[in-house]
Amino acid sequence: MPTDGLYPFQWSWDSAITALGWLEFDEERAWQEADVMFSGQWDNGMLPHILFHGDAESYFPGPDVWGSNTAVPSSAISQPPVWATAIRRMFETGKDRSLAESALERLLPKLIDYHDWWYRERDPDETGLVCSYHPWESGMDNSPAWDDALARVPEVDWEYQRRDLGHVDSEQRPHKPQYDRYLYLVDFYKKNGFDSDAIYKGCPYRVIDIGIVAILHRAGRDLVELCRLAGESAAIPSIESELARTQASIGTLWSKENRCFLNHDIVTGEPIEEVTTATVLPLFAGLANQSQSAYMADLIDEWLDATAFALSSTHPSSERFESQRYWRGPVWLHINWMIAEGLYDYGYDDLAERVKQATHKCVDKSGFYEYFDAMSGAGCGGGQFSWTAAVALYWLA
Ligand code: GLC
């Protein structure tokens, strides 16, 4: 679980990042993290963003609200697909080879199905840019990038009781009108019987999330490598053709003026002019060309000095920047790790080191909180947070 109280179940991308932390001192436990997560994979290949192991009374919305009725109770959307990247790293660095080899044999077909699901169900028109149906799917739930797209979604008309506010100060959490719309979308999938076609055509919220596109692409490259390592070459051509499609279309999301890629609102057909940490993740994916990477490196160079604690999840020049509210300004460690990895890949080693030092500074100041105020460095959200500790273990240490 990400943290007791606020998030008492298994979240998909938390789990992948956390497995990397476990790998540092308990390899069996790290692989178990993956096995348990994939035990909740849907028959169509989707990996839910939450698996509700056990009683979900303390959390809202629980499995009854999602209505997905699966063997392992779950939500009905996914999350940034970082799993193949985590598993490649686990496979390549794990010391217990027989453990790693048997785990890869079990997990590889599931990873292939999962990636297949993204392209089949979320990009039926083969644009190369998968779409996302919920801000929660981005993992950057309350990012200002989603504000306008979410504002067009109707509000639910039933009463409900939020549980998050019992754990965390309301100053650090989303407002009610946003929550009403989050829940409308949850209802919408259920009312449409989780039918991909109907949702793709009619969902009032559809965006191209550059974070998901980038993480999926990076994970796809790692998946190809895993297939090679496991001698499963038959699956490679179709993954490579999906990678090629994204590579061919990514340029449409580039904004030289902003020095980064932009999210895109599919409903209005417009780019979303908001610079967030997701908008530089194409570095992590290897999706940027040399000139684009140089622009992004420049942006990051300045961004690192723009707040006392960095990188702020939303650029501080945004009118919607708030240093401690969920995804509107605070720093998340695993995002810094991905950006730094991308910078190393493109040869910006000094800059990557600065991102690493900035990350260290948050933990040094406040410990293992969920996220950190970009101005004061104060720990925010849940305390004793799994992915924060995991990043400290496998990267900072
Ligand atoms: C919040 C975050 C999401 C994370 C989850 C559990 O919903 O926005 O990224 O996966 O908490 O930590």
Tell me: the pLDDT tens digits for 196-247? 999 999 999 999 999 999 999 999 999 999 999 999 999 999 999 999 999 9
Mutational pocket test of ligand 1: of 3, 6, 11, 172, the residue with most ligand atoms within 8 Å of the beta carbon: 11
Local structure of 162: helix, strand or coil: coil
Tell me what pLDDT residue 167 has.
Answer: 80
CA of 265 to the centre of ligand 1 (A): 22
Q: Is 64 a catalytic residue?
A: no
* Pairing mode, strands 260-261 and 254-255: antiparallel
Q: What pLDDT score was predicted for residue 54?
A: 82
What is the per-residue pLDDT for 382?
92
Spatial distance between the Cα atoms of 68 and 72, rounded to a whole number of angstroms:
10
Burial (0-12, 13-18, 19+ Cβ within 10 Å), 276: buried
Is it the case that residue 58 has pLDDT exceeding 80? no
Assign 165 a pLDDT band (cuts: 50, 70, 90).
confident
- The predicted model scores a pTM of 0.97
DSSP string covering 202-266: H-S--EE-HHHHHHHHHHHHHHHHHHHHTT-GGGHHHHHHHHHHHHHHGGGGEETTTTEE-EEET
pLDDT digits (tens, 9 = 90+) for 293-337: 999 999 999 999 999 999 999 999 999 999 999 999 999 999 999
**pLDDT for the residue numbered 161:** 87
For the Cβ of 146 lying below 6 angstroms from any atom of ligand 1, the answer is no
Residue 144's pLDDT is 98
Per-residue confidence (pLDDT) for residue 131, from 0 to 100: 97
Q: Check pocket membership of 13 for ligand 1, CB cut-off 6 A.
A: yes
Tokens at 8, concatenated:
């008492």
CA atoms within 13 A on the CB side of 247: 13
Largest CA distance in the chain: 54
Residue 141 falls in the annotated catalytic set: yes
Within 13 Å of residue 149, how many CA atoms lie on the same side as its CB?
31
pLDDT digits (tens, 9 = 90+) for 91-145: 999 999 999 999 999 999 999 999 999 999 999 999 999 999 999 999 999 999 9
Token pair of 333 as six digits? 């460690």
Question: What's the confidence (pLDDT) of residue 364?
Answer: 97
Pairing assessment for the beta strands 263-265 and 260-261 based on DSSP bridges: unpaired
What is the pLDDT, as a whole number, of residue 172?
Answer: 73
Does residue 73 carry a pLDDT above 80?
yes
Give me the chain's average pLDDT, please.
96
